[in-house]
Amino acid sequence: EVQLVESGGGLIQPGGSLTLSCAASGFSVSNNYMNWVRQAPGKGLEWVSVIYTGGSTYYSDSVKGRFTISRDNSKNTVYLQMNNVRVEDAAVYHCARAYSTYLDWFDPWGQGTLVTVSS
């Protein structure tokens, strides 16, 4: 069964750091375009980042320079390192596999992990 399971969310102070994990099963993250998408409370979905099969990475303007996406092929896991976290980064963070280089659509998605930012 193709599945994604996120972990690592929690309460963090503004300016702090946190690393989220996304463990995949049923397919290899190294052969797919893996993404993070977040959803702030009461808001819509917001794409955050992608890591391509060749290792190239892209970020939304809102997180560029602060977040880093990576993967560990041996653990079949994708990560999101969040640094200098802001109040507006509070959200449920989902990982999702994208179809095509252009990220035409996302399937499957993980259930998400909640990041709360507060002092």
Partner 1 sequence: EIVLTQSPPTLSLSPGDRATLSCRASQSVSSHLAWYQQKPGQAPRLLIYDASNRATGIPARFSGSVSGTDFTLTISSLEPEDFAVYHCQLRSNWPPVITFGQGTRLEIK
Which residues would be at the binding site for partner 1 (CB under 8 A)?
4, 37, 43-47, 50, 58, 60, 94, 96, 99, 102-112
Tell me which amino acid residue 61 is: D
Q: Distance of alpha carbon 119 from its chain centroid, rounded?
A: 23
Work out the number of other CB atoms within 10 angstroms of the CB of residue 107: 9
Rank residues 13 and 57 by Cβ distance to partner 1 and give the closer one: 57
Rank residues 5 and 76 by Cβ distance to partner 1 and give the closer one: 5
Least Å distance between CB 33 and partner 1? 9
CB 75 within 8 A of CB 88: no
Rank residues 14 and 53 by Cβ distance to partner 1 and give the closer one: 53
SS3 29: helix
* CA–CA dist 110, 92 (Å, integer): 11
Rank residues 37 and 90 by Cβ distance to partner 1 and give the closer one: 37
Least Å distance between CB 35 and partner 1? 8
Least Å distance between CB 74 and partner 1? 25
Least Å distance between CB 48 and partner 1? 9
CB 106 within 8 A of CB 35: yes
